[in-house]
Chain A
Amino acid sequence: MFLRNFNKCTLVATAILTGTVNVASATDLEVTHWWTSGGEAAAVAEFAKAFNATGNNWVDGAIAGSGGVARPIIISRIIGGEPMGATQLNHGRQAEELIEAGLLLDLTDVAEAEGWKDVIYPSKLLDACTVDGRVYCAPVNIHSAQWLWLSHAAYESSGVAVPTNWDEFVAAGPALRANGIVPLAMGQQGWQVGLAFGVLSVALVSEEAWYAVNRDKDAKVAAGAEYARVWKAFDDARKMAVGSNVGDWNLATNLVITGKAGGQIHGDWAQGEFSVAGSVAGTDYSCLPGLGNREILDTGGDAFYFPVQDDAAVEAAQKELAALLVSPAVQVAFNLKKGSLPIRGDIDMSTANDCMQKGLKILAGGNVLPSDNMNLSRDTLSQTDELMTTFWSDLYMSPEDAQAKYAKIISTAD
């Protein structure tokens, strides 16, 4: 009896298996990504729709959790010889070694045929995909970190005006504190604290000094007077954040939305939370790019990489997808859902909201910087994140000590 049942089971299983194989044509492409929240999933569905329309088949391989969870899975699959058709990664230096090992597909011919050099704006995005003159990834959106999100309700109830730059924000802190409101919301995770430091340094030091530290790894500048100002501001920030006992970034954003906290330093992806909560930019909350001190944004974001596969049909589909991701119609559909900025300067984004428009204007003005992921290796970034979060939680650690440690990390950075 058992055996008969077992046979039935295998029969059914084989039927199912062969069935899927039949449905799936030769140009199946498994695409892995970590866009699993509501807005993100809707955005990625735009890609899938457009790709399926070309006669190919998008096999969705969403990995729940953030990049920190998904990245090791994706990379070990590529290294382990089980590559997917395409995968999301943050462009920059994460894929460096994969490219050196010859594991990622060279997209130079697609880039030339589609004229990516002329349409992708800012051009730094394409540079981040280029190694030795060859293009290895297709950028799909721009996310910038340099935003300060402010709750109007928190400031109005405390009787102070909504700040328009960092110094006003710090000055308004005591008034909020007296009103029982935490001036600055901050999730207790290394990368969020590290992000805040990055934002402060972009907003408070000169561009030369910033490049000297982040691009040229000059430890002297990192230990110098200009960066001392960043550490002073970071010291203010950690004192203002005392009392915000939350972990994930969206919980911190929620404190701002509900007026329990004055503001949050976070990337533009926080905007999704505001719109889900029904808040209106300008009346319920406001956003200050570059903390209101310097209107400048970095150009981090997401890109798709295509692991090398030993199959001409798959390779053709990969290149088709690469071209599609950058094409104008797909860019508009995707970025409106995602709340991120498009990577092309030549498309119409007039339906975007207030804060996105601000971002677009800055992009058009060319005030952009390469993101941390482009300048520093993951190894260095985890060390700085570690330092930032130690400093943040250990109120006895002086800014001077922390700056010395920071300079030491920069001196060994790569």
Chain B
Amino acid sequence: MAMPLHALTERLFIGSIVLALAAFVLVTVGIKSQILESAPLVFLLLSLVLVIWMGATTGKWELFTNRLRKHAIGWLIAATTSAMVWSFAQPSAQQAIPILKELRKVWTTFEPFVLFAAAVFVLFSLVLLVIGTRDSDFDQPGYIERSLVHKLSSKIAAVPMAFSAVGVFVIATLWTVYHSFTSSRMLPKSEFVGVAQYERLWNSDRWFVSIENLAIYGICSMVFSLFVGFMLAAMLDQKIRFENTFRTIFLYPFALSFIVTGLVWQWILNPDYGVEKIVRLLGFDTFVFDPLYNAEIVIYGILIAGLWQGTGLIMCLMLAGLRGIDQEIWKASRVDGIPMWKTYLRIVIPMMRPVFVTTLVIIAAGIIKVYDLVIAQTSGGPGISSEVPAKYVYDYMFGALNLGQGFAASTMMLVSVLIVLIPFAYLEFGRRKHG
């Protein structure tokens, strides 16, 4: 019982030192709130008590046994670093010792990195604190040191990836969600307003229009690009002549950016010199085709451009999937006299399941991020009838200088993605594990 308890204190000790350091850094960097200001002191005190307590429980009162010395040194380092960091931030200390001001300048340069590292450390220490309880190895003394050194090179190699993954996906997300409950305007600040930003969001006409547009765009582009892409691929798969040429033609739009695509289609759909004009020149004087200038159907005008750009890629993916089907299957179905469409529907498409999953993910990602196409074609017009959620986020964060509102909208986007993604991931990955 003595050993595990000792290991637990060790764990708490390391955790508290890391937390204390991190909290100090956070305070310096400027996230000044009551909790954070006193937290580091509490943590430092806690770790000091733990060091003394560990010394007491080992039974030997010599302070400088090997392990205890390590802990004591660790505490000293944490305490001095924290004190230094703290003193940088104090104006009175800066006045007393001018050199601190210079140090502070150096410090300011590294601030973002330090903030970032601190956040990673906090997560790391939390993981140490929590995970250890389920791992019996952890109860042996020196586990933390050993596990840190174990396969060190691969750990070092993974550091950049881990940093960016944690930074982008965890910290930035949490930071965004946190600030969506504040009244942040141009600068992020911690004035909580509850769900006021969300209330305003869901009372806004523009947000509703955006969601509606995304839904229409999403469903249509999902259905059409899959259907058209598959049909094109199936046709190309019939061993036709000039297959390479056709493939190139169909894939070519994908080489264009959304901005170029949007501009080209803006011209094509413009009633003054696009399709409408040409058809009128042919003699149909009352012909009307101006999707980009009609609030009712503008989103379909954008959809046309999106499909034109994206279908080629879907076709290529599908074609690759079709080529992956064993020719023997075709021969067998022909021998059995099964009609071609039935072979596709009953045999080939089920066999292409992985290709369809990949394609779905690619299409879905394209739908959520649709933004530049709208900017290039209509800038959200006429009125607000072609707005999309991503544009709402950008406009409120940078145009209206209302970060809180933009964050609330982006949090809603995240939530909706999660609602779709979690059951999907559960089905997809959960099944694999069981099977």
User: Residues on A close to B: CB < 8 A?
Assistant: 68, 71-72, 75-76, 79, 81, 94, 96-98, 101, 188-190, 245, 247, 310, 377-379, 381-383, 386, 389-394, 405
Q: Please determine whether B379 and A393 come into contact, CB atoms closer than 8 angstroms.
A: no
Q: With CB as the reference atom, state the residue of chain A lying closest to B405.
A: A379
Given the contacts A245-B293, A393-B382, A97 and B185 also touching, CB distance less than 8 Å: yes
Q: With CB as the reference atom, state the residue of chain A lying closest to B398.
A: A72
Q: Please determine whether A378 and B400 come into contact, CB atoms closer than 8 angstroms.
A: yes
Complex A-B: 28 CB contacts under 8 Å:
A68-B399, A71-B398, A75-B186, A76-B398, A97-B186, A97-B401, A98-B186, A188-B382, A189-B379, A190-B381, A245-B270, A245-B293, A247-B379, A379-B185, A379-B401, A379-B402, A382-B400, A386-B205, A386-B206, A386-B384, A389-B382, A390-B205, A391-B383, A392-B382, A392-B383, A393-B381, A393-B385, A394-B385
Given the contacts A389-B383, A389-B384, A378 and B187 also touching, CB distance less than 8 Å: no
Within the assembled complex, what's the spacing in Å between the Cα atoms of A256 and B372? 31
B164 within 8 A of A: no
Beyond the given pairs A68-B399, A96-B186, A392-B382, 19 more chain A to chain B contacts, judged by CB atoms under 8 angstroms and listed by A's residue number, are A97-B186, A188-B381, A188-B382, A378-B401, A378-B402, A379-B402, A382-B400, A383-B400, A386-B205, A389-B381, A389-B382, A389-B383, A389-B384, A390-B383, A393-B295, A393-B382, A393-B383, A393-B385, A394-B383
Which one of A76, A101, A394 has the highest number of Cβ atoms from chain B below 10 Å of its Cβ? A394
For the residues of A in contact with B, the DSSP-based class is helix
Q: Please determine whether B271 and A245 come into contact, CB atoms closer than 8 angstroms.
A: yes
Q: Please determine whether B383 and A382 come into contact, CB atoms closer than 8 angstroms.
A: no
Q: With CB as the reference atom, state the residue of chain B lying closest to A81.
A: B108
B294 CB → nearest A CB, Å: 9
Q: With CB as the reference atom, state the residue of chain B lying closest to A387.
A: B205
Q: With CB as the reference atom, state the residue of chain B lying closest to A95.
A: B186
Q: With CB as the reference atom, state the residue of chain B lying closest to A191.
A: B399
Within the assembled complex, what's the spacing in Å between the Cα atoms of A98 and B206? 28
What are the residues of chain A within 8 A of B401 when measuring CB–CB?
75, 94, 97, 377-379
Interface size class of B (residues with CB under 8 A): 20 to 34
B272 within 8 A of A: yes
Nearest 8 interchain pairs by C-beta: A393-B383, A393-B382, A72-B398, A382-B400, A97-B186, A379-B402, A390-B383, A378-B401
B396 within 8 A of A: yes
Which one of B108, B379, B384 has the highest number of Cβ atoms from chain A below 10 Å of its Cβ? B384
What are the residues of chain B within 8 A of A94 when measuring CB–CB?
401
Within the assembled complex, what's the spacing in Å between the Cα atoms of A81 and B30? 14
B37 within 8 A of A: no
Within the assembled complex, what's the spacing in Å between the Cα atoms of A72 and B186? 10
Q: Please determine whether B399 and A79 come into contact, CB atoms closer than 8 angstroms.
A: no
Q: Please determine whether A245 and B399 come into contact, CB atoms closer than 8 angstroms.
A: no
Mark interface residues in B47-83 (1 if CB within 8 Å of A CB, else 0).
0000000000000000000000000000000000000
Which one of B108, B270, B401 has the highest number of Cβ atoms from chain A below 10 Å of its Cβ? B401
What are the residues of chain B within 8 A of A101 when measuring CB–CB?
187
B105 within 8 A of A: yes
Q: Would you list which residues of chain B between 372 and 399 have a CB under 8 Å from chain A?
A: 379-385, 395-396, 398-399
Within the assembled complex, what's the spacing in Å between the Cα atoms of A378 and B270? 32
What are the residues of chain A within 8 A of B400 when measuring CB–CB?
378-379, 381-383
Within the assembled complex, what's the spacing in Å between the Cα atoms of A96 and B401? 11
Q: Please determine whether B383 and A79 come into contact, CB atoms closer than 8 angstroms.
A: no
What are the residues of chain B within 8 A of A393 when measuring CB–CB?
295, 381-385
Within the assembled complex, what's the spacing in Å between the Cα atoms of A71 and B400? 11
What are the residues of chain A within 8 A of B385 when measuring CB–CB?
393-394
Q: With CB as the reference atom, state the residue of chain A lying closest to B400.
A: A382
Q: Would you list which residues of chain B between 85 and 136 have a CB under 8 Å from chain A?
A: 105, 108
What are the residues of chain A within 8 A of B271 when measuring CB–CB?
245
What are the residues of chain B within 8 A of A81 when measuring CB–CB?
108
A237 CB → nearest B CB, Å: 14
Which one of A72, A96, A188 has the highest number of Cβ atoms from chain B below 10 Å of its Cβ? A188
Q: With CB as the reference atom, state the residue of chain B lying closest to A414.
A: B185
